[in-house]
Amino acid sequence: MRKGGWMGRSFLAAGLCWATLLLALFVTTGSAQGADSEHKCQEVLIAQEKPTVNSPAAQNPKPAQNSPIAEAKTETEQYTLSHERYEKAVAYSRAGYILYFIWVAVGLAVVWLFLRLGIAARIRDFAERLTENLFLQGLLFIPILLIATDVFELPARVYWHLLSLQYQQSVQGWGSWMVDWAKEEALFLGGALILGSILLYLIRKSPRRWWLHFWVCALPIFFFVFFISPWFIDPLFYKYEPLDKTNPELVTAIEKITQRAGLSIPRERMFLMRASSKTNQINAYVTGVGASKRVVVWDNTINKTTTDETLFIFGHEAGHYVLGHVRNSILFFSVTFLIAMYACFRLLHALLGKWSAVWKIYGPQDLACLAVLLLVFKAFSFLGMPVESAYSRMQEHQADVFGLEVIHGIVPNSGEVAAHAFQILGQEDLSDPNPPPFITFWLYSHPPLAERLVFAHSYDPWSKNQQPRYVK
């Protein structure tokens, strides 16, 4: 699903995923299948698609550990699945976990072999033979290296789509899937060419401060991509229609939530996404910033949940904006990006000091040095996943609480409605009932669905004469 929505990783990563990918010159650093971030984000977050369902739970209730059917008084006190659905959810999720780690290992191994066998150096030599212009050499080297490495990583993505079709999570045909992959690669290569060329120029111009200069240059590009994504990137993959035209009554209901949340989103900025053309999953989200800010509701969500349940899903997303998660995530991203760039600078020199002769790379200014940075970026992306996941889980829990509070008094029996929304979400998306703790720690940008459902059902400060946390 869309990783930035209530089904995916950090909501900001949905908008920044493309930018982060461009930064890594081929690697997603964060957390997606769905709207704009489904594409490159999906390959890194293959394992996250299924387990991460919206925001975290504040408590850690213990769901049923082995039985597919919970012993609950009502359907929505615990996450329950039929035996057949339970077996499918476990098999699908666990296959995703394994595939993710295989994908990471293959990606690292391929780049390492490109360096160790001198393939990166030969690509550099080829580019240098064709032209003496340093800029044009980069325009040749970058796409050749990217496409070559992507070819080895493509089977993992193909197999994941095959699993999604087998488990009826996707309905997208192979022809359409390949077209989306081609669009994604074109966007990715275009961005990598821009940032890669800037990086090469800065390394050659300022050998000791390039990491800082690149950070300063890249941040505005990243945020610009986030800003324009709802207008120019999202529509490349899905069809959007004004929600006021297709579901005016839902728009009126959403307006009650936005007004109570203090969120200004006009009716003309609310859209229906035709997700059912490619997926059976459920989602709704708020995306963009400033003039590009908008509400997006998937048609599957409207078809498979009640209006009240859709309002809770939307209330969660609204919480990200009201609670300042966009601002905080931008700051978090900026700081971690700066730290990562400095670490890359230090590690690059250390690696070249030991391996440059074997790799046939003659210093940081060497064109083939980009392959070394690619290896470093991939490693940092993997090792930094637990930090990003933990940060995202914290924000997602806050948004879940906000969603529960903002619909209270507007939606009858709001806790039950939210819990049932999670139940429907888990059933439809085959969410893992009991993900391994290590997987939750490493990959989950949102806590396990079972924990979130129990929290939604039990959160009730009003009956205890306590103050709500966010919506007074």
The DSSP result for 111-138, as a single string, is HHHHHHTTHHHHHHHHHHHH-S-HHHHH
Tens of pLDDT, residue by residue over 225-276, are 999 999 999 999 999 999 999 999 999 999 999 999 988 888 899 999 999 9
pLDDT, position 365: 93
Q: Helices (H), strands (E): how many in the chain?
A: 17, 4
The rounded distance, in Å, linking the Cα atoms of 397 and 404 is: 11
Look at the alpha carbons of 458, 460, 461, 464 in this order and tell me if their dihedral is positive or negative: negative
Q: Give DSSP secondary structure letters for 139-198.
A: HHHHHHHHHHHHHHHHHHHHHHHHHHHHTTSB---HHHHHHHHHHHHHHHHHHHHHHHHH
Does residue 69 carry a pLDDT above 60?
no
Nearest CA to 221 out of 11, 3, 23 is that of: 23
What lies within 8 Å, CB to CB, of 299 at 6+ separation is 272, 273, 274, 275, 276
pLDDT, position 44: 29
Q: What is the mean pLDDT of residues 437-457?
A: 94
pLDDT band at 20 (very low <50, low <70, confident <90, very high): very low
User: Percent of the chain scored above 70 by pLDDT?
Assistant: 84
pLDDT band at 75 (very low <50, low <70, confident <90, very high): low
If you compute the radius of gyration of the chain from its CA atoms, what whole number of angstroms results?
23
Q: What is the mean pLDDT of residues 323-345?
A: 93
N-terminal to C-terminal alpha carbon distance within the chain: 32
Does residue 345 carry a pLDDT above 50?
yes
Strands 294-298 and 284-287 come out as antiparallel
Q: What is the mean pLDDT of residues 221-226?
A: 92
Nearest CA to 34 out of 206, 193, 216, 164 is that of: 164
For the beta sheet containing 270-273, the strands, ordered from the edge strand earlier in sequence to the opposite edge, are 240-242, 270-273, 294-298, 284-287
pLDDT, position 472: 83
Distance between alpha carbon 149 and the CA centroid of its chain, in Å?
21
- By the 8 A CB rule, do 134 and 197 touch? no
**Residues present in the chain in total:** 472
**3 state DSSP class of 31:** coil
What lies within 8 Å, CB to CB, of 245 at 6+ separation is none
Angle at 267 between CA 265 and CA 273, to 5 degrees: 95
User: Percent of the chain scored above 90 by pLDDT?
Assistant: 77
Mean pLDDT of the chain: 85
pLDDT, position 285: 82
Does residue 77 carry a pLDDT above 90?
no
Phi, psi (deg, nearest 5) at residue 240: -120, 140
pLDDT, position 62: 37
Within 13 Å and on the Cβ side, how many CA atoms surround 362?
5
Type of residue at 374:
L
Tens of pLDDT, residue by residue over 100-143, are 999 999 999 999 999 999 999 999 999 999 999 999 999 999 99
Work out the burial of residue 112: count CB atoms within 10 Å of its CB; fewer than 13 is exposed, 13-18 middle, 19 or more buried. Answer: middle
pLDDT band at 283 (very low <50, low <70, confident <90, very high): confident
The rounded distance, in Å, linking the Cα atoms of 72 and 58 is: 20
Q: What residues are paired with 296 via a beta bridge?
A: 271, 285
Tens of pLDDT, residue by residue over 371-380, are 999 999 999 9
- By the 8 A CB rule, do 161 and 177 touch? yes
The rounded distance, in Å, linking the Cα atoms of 369 and 469 is: 50
What lies within 8 Å, CB to CB, of 175 at 6+ separation is none
Does residue 47 carry a pLDDT above 80?
no
Does residue 196 carry a pLDDT above 90?
yes
pLDDT band at 35 (very low <50, low <70, confident <90, very high): very low
Does residue 56 carry a pLDDT above 60?
no
pLDDT, position 199: 96
Q: What is the mean pLDDT of residues 196-211?
A: 95
Q: What is the mean pLDDT of residues 205-233?
A: 95
DSSP, res 241? E
Distance between alpha carbon 169 and the CA centroid of its chain, in Å?
17
What does pTM read for this prediction? Answer: 0.82
